[in-house]
Amino acid sequence: MTEVSDTLDATGLLCPLPVLKARKRLKSLPSGAVLRMLADDPAALVDVPHFCFEAGHTLVSQNDEGPHQVYLIRKGGATQAS
């Protein structure tokens, strides 16, 4: 199981706010930290993976949990042991 460093509740926010809030929160975390983000914007299904790819972060998982999605994003810049 992945250890979560911080949680961001972006439910109720529409594109591009979930990604912008994630970017801001990730800036304050050390490399290798994992951000758990909750979102219910349908566009987040495409926007979050694209953001992670473009910014050099790793999308650890993307799951539906009831009315929202849960994303685990590992901040880029650190090598991770398997």
- Catalytic residue numbers read 15
For residue 12, is it left (φ>0), alpha (ψ between -120 and 50) or beta? left
Residue 51 tokens read as: 């953001």
Q: Would you give the distance in Å from CA 24 to the centre of its chain?
A: 11
**Amino acid (1-letter code) at residue 6:** D
